[in-house]
A and B are shown apart, each in its own frame.
Chain A
Amino acid sequence: MAEMRYREALNSALREELLRDERVMLMGEDIGVFGGAFKVTDGLLEEFGERRVRDTPISENTIVGVGVGAAMTGLRPVVELMTINFALLAFDQIVNHAAHIHYMFGGQVKVPLVVRMPQGAGHQLGPTHSHCLEALFAHVPGLLVAVPATAADAKGLLKTAIRDENPVIFIEHESLYGVRGEVPDTPPGGTGEGEHLVDFGLARVAREGSDVTIVGVSRMAITAERAAETLAAEHGVQAEVIDPRTLRPLDLDTILASVAKTNHCVIVEEGWPHGGVGANLAALVAEQAFDELDAPVQRVTGADVPMPYSKPLEDIAYPHRPQVVHAALASLNRIRGGA
């Protein structure tokens, strides 16, 4: 094991895949000479050259579309978009094209494309650079959606994403780039046996517990773990924390098994409540495990507002540990009211 930052884990995943497969190439705004807006691609231009690491014009829809065409004809492009909000400019290529081409052309052609982007609040970037929009992408059949919360998952999921035959929306979190974590070592030779890959559709049980299930999405998996520590230390409640890691495919079985054990479920996400990931998970849990529940599913979500700039407002516009603790206790009927 080596300790590294989330951004370094992503960088090593890209580097290893570039070394492993000649078809892998990177495109994005300022990923080369500048080294990436968040330094995820630092050093890769120098190592792999301009043929494989390409700075692009600021043309999000076209960059993604170029990735689609290249993926259809044999390459494995990894496109970086500077933030998830900018991905909205590329929604046509992501939804109408990347997601649908395999289906609408009767399975004749595949689109093994990865589109990477960071999301999340916390840096006072206001309403156009701070949102959590994973629900928009998870909504679309044909796309896969990964939301890694740890350095190890960032690396393992990205390597898997690049090898997958489907278009993958790979959603990083801006506030996690500098966070350190243990990442399994790369075997000698870079690839092969012992290599760190994380399967899609396999949730991570971040903490085991028997009293309440807390599902945390993206950075909220970390917030949920912290809340679980408080619940144990101050309330004697043992929470089981589940990080789904991918929203499509979704490891619903692990969530349902946990709910069958704890009979209580709290879902934590940074995105908006209406039509959010939590709303979807709550519906699935209610449909599949209604008889296991001793209380209604609790959701803790971002505030239903565009993200404000001012620090005190931004701080209360996305979930923190106390709200999650509160929701868990409410689910257990230890206090009144929901989150």
Chain B
Amino acid sequence: MAALPEPDLAREWLSTMTLIRRFEERAGEMYARAKVGGFLHLSIGEEATIVGSARALREEDYLISTYRSHGHALVRGTPPENVMAELFGRVDGCSGGRGGSMHMFDLSRRFMGGYGIVGGNLPIAAGIALASDYGGSEDVTLCTFGDGASNQGTFGETLNLAALWRLPVVFMVTNNQFGMGTALRRHSAVTDLQRKGESLGVPGMRCDGMDVLDTHAVVAEAVRRVREDRRPVLVEAVTYRFRGHSMADPEQYRSKEEVARWRERDPISLFGRQLIEEGVIDEAEGARIDEDALARVDAAVAFAESSPFPAPESLYDDVYVLDQEARGWYSVRTSDEAAAPDGGGEGAGEPDGSGEDEISEQLTEALAAGEDGGEAPPQGV
């Protein structure tokens, strides 16, 4: 077993994992109360993979993630206020309310985004690493994705290219056992995922993704090798998603017993108990860490509630980077009324409380339909 870090670090890791857990739980509640739209993919159960890996990076290293990325923004230091405001679709969201749950971003903290397309972030990670290499910096890019993404074309293409060009990327496959609702053994011929890079020139490593110390130790070693050898490495973090794929997931593809077995290895309880046993914290401090996380999440919700929705007239902002001499029609505004502040167009104007029932209804329909199934409105990925 990997050694404990310095006490302050250990406390910070536990605090951040706890913050992510409490944030995700609250996000789920806010979704059920229709404060959050679209899809919501929670990382409950996967906190050690997030904190253990991100803490192996330097501040100037890059992190790039998937549509399950609230925790990745938080671990890089994006204030929970701005992550929650993004979920609420408000102007103070970390993507200005344009991205939502699947598209968090924080350039100033070198969190290079959550991406909604499975496997879409791998080539981008290689491009970021190319720019690091091109500029002669030592920066490393950590690219996380799920077990499902290891079947995408971009996985093979990007690992090959990164190995060929000796790009400084740590590819981390967060194996949470399911590609949406399809179990690993049903979606991948090779279930030993760390080996999937071998034929592409990318050596593999594996860590226990329920153990923040092991995750950190293995990813730190991978980051060191990548930084020094300028060659990519693939790390498989073995973990488990305690909640459904998204909020609209009836979880018919796994048993309650299986979930309960994995919950016995809850990464936060595991690490918290270890810190108490080793005398790093006492019970009271453990409770305080949890209370602090809850208080921060309360503040995040209050902040998000009070942040305004983006103004309708901002609809066309940032489609293009325009300078003052720009000529010609960049966008065709098909209906000026739709963008008018007083809300002439359908769906424009200030959302009100009446939306709540509507979204609860969406959720119910999706649950009833079964996420993989069918034709009901917002479900699936």
Residues of chain A touching chain B, judged by Cβ–Cβ distance below 8 Å, are 25, 51, 54, 56-57, 59, 61-75, 77, 92-93, 96-97, 101-110, 141-142, 144, 165-166, 199-202, 246, 248-253, 284
Contact = CB atoms under 8 A, between A and B. Distances in A.
Given A96-B117, A97-B115, A65 B127 contact: yes
A251 B127 contact: no
B36 interface: no
A69 B95 contact: no
A62 B95 contact: no
B120 A97 contact: yes
Q: Is the interface of B mostly helix, strand, loop or mixed?
A: loop
Given A59-B161, A62-B157, A109-B107, A166 B96 contact: no
Contact of A93 (B123, B164, B317, B323): B123
A93 B330 contact: no
A201 B128 contact: no
Interface stretch (B40-48, B97-105, B299-307): B97-105
Given A59-B157, A106-B318, A69 B123 contact: yes
Nearest to A27: B130
B154 A70 contact: no
19 contacts: A51-B134, A57-B164, A59-B160, A61-B153, A61-B157, A65-B124, A65-B154, A69-B131, A75-B130, A75-B134, A104-B95, A105-B99, A105-B113, A106-B96, A106-B99, A107-B317, A109-B105, A201-B328, A248-B329
A26 to B, nearest CB: 12
Given A57-B157, A62-B161, A107-B96, A74 B329 contact: no
Contacts of A144: 320, 330
B50 interface: no
A142 B120 contact: no
B189 interface: no
A202 B127 contact: no
Contacts of B329: 201, 248-252
A110 B124 contact: no
A249 B326 contact: yes
Contacts of B134: 25, 51, 70, 75
B330 A73 contact: no
B130 A66 contact: yes
Contact of B318 (A92, A107, A249): A107
A62 B320 contact: no
Contact of A72 (B99, B112, B160): B112
Contacts of A103: 98, 318-319
A75 B133 CA distance: 11
Contacts of B319: 102-103, 141-142
Contacts of A62: 122-123, 126, 153-154, 157-158, 161
B135 interface: yes
B93 interface: yes
Contacts of A165: 321, 323
Given A59-B160, A69-B130, 17 more contacts: A59-B157, A65-B123, A65-B124, A65-B126, A66-B126, A66-B158, A69-B112, A70-B130, A92-B117, A106-B99, A144-B320, A202-B327, A202-B328, A248-B330, A249-B330, A251-B327, A252-B329
Contact of B161 (A56, A73, A106, A200): A56
Interface residues of B, number: 53
A92 B127 CA distance: 15
A200 B330 CA distance: 10
B132 interface: yes
A282 to B, nearest CB: 14
B124 A72 contact: yes
B250 interface: no
Given A202-B327, A251-B328, A105 B128 contact: no
Minimum-distance CB pairs A-B, first 10: A69-B127, A201-B328, A65-B123, A106-B96, A249-B328, A201-B327, A62-B157, A107-B318, A59-B157, A69-B124
Contacts of B120: 65, 92-93, 96-97
Contacts of B275: none
Interface in B157-173: 157-158, 160-161, 164-165
A252 B131 CA distance: 37
B268 interface: no
B65 to A, nearest CB: 13
Nearest to B320: A166
A165 B318 CA distance: 12
A102 B99 contact: no
B331 interface: yes
Contacts of A70: 127-128, 130-131, 134
B378 interface: no
B116 interface: yes
Contacts of B325: 199
Nearest to A93: B123
A141 B331 contact: yes
B202 to A, nearest CB: 14
Contacts of B320: 102, 142, 144, 166
A74 B321 CA distance: 15
Nearest to B334: A287
B328 A250 contact: yes
Contacts of A250: 328-329
Contacts of B234: none
Nearest to B321: A165
